[in-house]
Amino acid sequence: MRVRVRLFASLREAVGRSELELDLPSGASAEDAWRALARSHPPLAARRPSLAASVNRRYAPFDTRLDDGDEVVFIPPVSGG
Amino acid sequence: MPAVVKIPTPLRGFSGGRAAVPLDGQTVSRLLDALLADSPGLRPHLLGEDGRLRNFVNVFVNGDDVRALEGLDTPVRDGDEVTIVPAIAGGTDLSNEEIARYSRHLIMPEVTIEGQRRLKEGSALLVGAGGLGSPAALYLAAAGVGRIGIVDFDVVDESNLQRQIVHDTSWVGKPKLESARSRLSALNPHIEIETYDAALTRDNALVIMQDYDVVVDGTDNFQTRYLTNDACFFLKKPNVYGSIFRFEGQASVFWPGKGPCYRCLYPEPPPPGLVPSCAEGGVLGILPGVIGGIQATEALKILMGIGEPLMGRLLLYDALTMSFKQLRLRRNPECPLCGESPTIHELQDYIAFCGVEDAEVLKGVEEITATELKQRLDAGDDIDMVDVREPHEWAICRIDGARSVPLTDLDERLHEFDSSRTYVMQCKVGVRSAMAIGQLRQAGFRRLLNLRGGLTAWAREVDPSMPTY
């Protein structure tokens, strides 16, 4: 199945794009989508514990199962003020 | 038998719930001192910053207004009854000047004179008088929020003026609190401004925040964000959150007991050094205007009790694409603070929790000062200088003889390094160059020095003609 991934702030900069698509086996979770992303961008791995994720515009735990066509957003915390 | 001070209902939250406090004191003034020593939380409600009784607070001894007696010097005898009556307890009236000033509010059915009264009776605490705090403070003051508190310890820097619009050029080098107070009281003389010249810490957060109805988080670091969140949770105060990064911003309202908290959204801070601050990453000047404006809007709605707060929703704003997105948030049942089995029962050590960026990144990195580097270059030492800043920073300034290898390209350009040579790594302030040293070490390089304080230190110690940014 294919899911669409959107990235914000420093994640977007680390990956170099704000949006991409991932091919995942059916039954994959948001965590699996993150792992697939981190495999292609290894420096991302260290960021996982501080990230928030959402699936189809709802904040979602990383074990949320994805369906074909879902939109997954990974949001890093931002500290600037 | 001591005298008895009667506390009005709205202030009993600051007297431990007591309606009457027996105290010793020969005069009203002494008695008030004893009362404030007993219940320090009452102080801002009774006394102004000059230590004098606030205009709207009336004190009666056995039913007589002390203004008709000897004022604060009115003698008090054992068994006397001293009653404190803040005008606020009977509802606040707007003066004709205030009615004229707020007329565009008053004519809206959602606000009316009642909403404006709530603003006047209300109070908001701004954590930080920087990018977000500036527009928020200006709009809250203009809107007539009766008491605005500001916590900050910094001075105005020239590089703040591009976005921190409460400050102006004449205040560069002076405390942000004084600058903000001057600007806000000129904008609206009908409001009170309280300032706290301190960093918010676990020791002062609860004391400062308890006197406010709503807290606006405009801080610039993760420690203070977690601290603000936790303190608001323990005090059950709504926390209007905003944060910014380059062209992107986030905003939400975390309201204890009603919706999720910051820890539900971000259970753990990012590793130190991974998320650049505004100083390192840059920020579009107007970005905090948008996000701080949203925070002020939410604070006003909360104080007036109108509309739907930005609760359970995270607003994401991208200035480059000019788009707003909303994500639905929910309370995390496993949240260590507001979840079902909380493990956090008091304020924490936030510096330990978030890590200290410089200490962490710089650990074990050998340094050279700008002055030492200059001496070694002048002595003709065979040193390679590598500047890891981005090309657009390199274009602003550089040290003669350095070459540019941006940190983002370092992995692909390791072949350009020679393990038999000595490298002095440099960046703007010395953090990214320390990260570069970490990467080079992993790749097996050993002869690496970090320019302490980066080009900023070089400009200060060696070459004052170099621009700093």
CB–CB of A11/A44 below 8 Å? yes
B164-172 mean pLDDT: 98
Whether the pLDDT of residue B35 is over 70: the answer is yes
Q: Closest chain A residue to B249 measured between Cα atoms?
A: A78
What is the reported pLDDT for B356? 60
More confident residue, B214 or A10: B214
What is the reported pLDDT for B319? 95
Whether the pLDDT of residue B216 is over 70: the answer is yes
Nearest CB to A57 within list B243, B283, B326? B326
**B332-337: long-range contacts (C-beta < 8 A, 24 or more apart)?**
B332/B260, B332/B263, B332/B264, B332/B267, B335/B260, B335/B261, B335/B263, B335/B264, B335/B267, B336/B263, B336/B267, B337/B229, B337/B230, B337/B233, B337/B261, B337/B263
Q: Can you state the angle between helices B176-187 and B133-143, rounded to 10 degrees? A: 30
Cross-chain Cβ contact A59/B314 below 8 Å: yes
Q: Which residues are bridge partners to B404 per DSSP?
A: B387
Confidence category of residue B273, pLDDT binned at 50, 70, 90: low
What is the reported pLDDT for A55? 95
Lowest mean pLDDT among B195-209, B298-312, B343-357: B343-357
CB–CB of A53/A73 below 8 Å? yes
Cross-chain Cβ contact B328/A77 below 8 Å: no
**Is residue A81 situated within a structural domain?**
no
Whether the pLDDT of residue B268 is over 50: the answer is yes
**Is residue A15 situated within a structural domain?**
yes
Cross-chain Cβ contact B222/A79 below 8 Å: yes
B75-95 mean pLDDT: 75
d(CA B376, CA B462): 13
Percentage, residues of chain B above pLDDT 90: 64
- For chain B, the average pLDDT equals 90
Q: How far is A57 from chain B (nearest CA, A)?
A: 5
> What value of ipTM does the predicted structure carry?
0.76
Confidence category of residue B456, pLDDT binned at 50, 70, 90: very high
More confident residue, B53 or B98: B98
- Is the model's pTM score more than 0.90? no
CATH code for position A17: 3.10.20.30
Confidence category of residue B51, pLDDT binned at 50, 70, 90: confident
Cross-chain Cβ contact B278/A80 below 8 Å: yes
Whether the pLDDT of residue B91 is over 60: the answer is no
A-chain CB neighbours of B245 within 8 Å are 9-10, 78-80
Cross-chain Cβ contact B246/A54 below 8 Å: no
Q: Return the biggest CA–CA distance within chain B.
A: 89
More confident residue, B26 or B92: B26
d(CA B316, CA B27): 57
Whether B397 is catalytic: no
Instruction: Write the pLDDT tens digit of every residue in B118-151.
Output: 999 999 999 999 999 999 999 999 999 999 999 9
Instruction: Write the pLDDT tens digit of every residue in A12-53.
Output: 888 888 899 999 999 999 999 999 999 988 878 888 988 999
Is some CB atom of chain B closer than 8 A to the CB atom of A46?
Answer: yes
Lowest mean pLDDT among B109-118, B267-276, B346-355: B267-276
The H or E element containing residue B5 is strand B3-6
Confidence category of residue B89, pLDDT binned at 50, 70, 90: very low
Nearest CB to B245 within list A10, A54, A73? A10
What is the reported pLDDT for B386? 97
Q: Closest chain B residue to A43 measured between Cα atoms?
A: B274
Of B51-55, B127-131, B436-440, which one has max mean pLDDT? B127-131
CB–CB of A81/B131 below 8 Å? yes
Sign of the torsion angle spanned by Cα atoms B278, B283, B286, B288: negative
Whether the pLDDT of residue B90 is over 50: the answer is no
**Is residue A80 situated within a structural domain?**
no
Give residue A56's domain range: 2-75
Whether B427 is catalytic: yes
d(CA B177, CA B153): 8
More confident residue, B64 or B195: B195
Confidence category of residue B56, pLDDT binned at 50, 70, 90: low
For B435, which DSSP code?
H
B99-105 mean pLDDT: 93
**Is residue A47 situated within a structural domain?**
yes
Token output for B388: 């890891």
Q: Which residues are bridge partners to A29 per DSSP?
A: A65
Instruction: Write the pLDDT tens digit of every residue in B341-367.
Output: 999 999 998 888 887 655 555 677 899
Whether the pLDDT of residue A81 is over 60: the answer is yes
Cross-chain Cβ contact B246/A76 below 8 Å: no
Q: E strands, B200-266, where? A: 214-217, 239-245, 248-254
The residue among A59, A70, A75 with the most chain B CBs within 10 A of its CB, best to mutate, is A59
**Is residue A18 situated within a structural domain?**
yes
**Is residue A69 situated within a structural domain?**
yes
CB–CB of A30/A60 below 8 Å? yes
Strand pairing class (B448-451; B367-368) = parallel
CB–CB of B310/A56 below 8 Å? no
Number of compact structural domains in chain A: 1
Strand B64-65: give its sheet, edge to edge: B20-23, B3-6, B81-86, B57-61, B64-65
A-chain CB neighbours of B281 within 8 Å are 10, 80
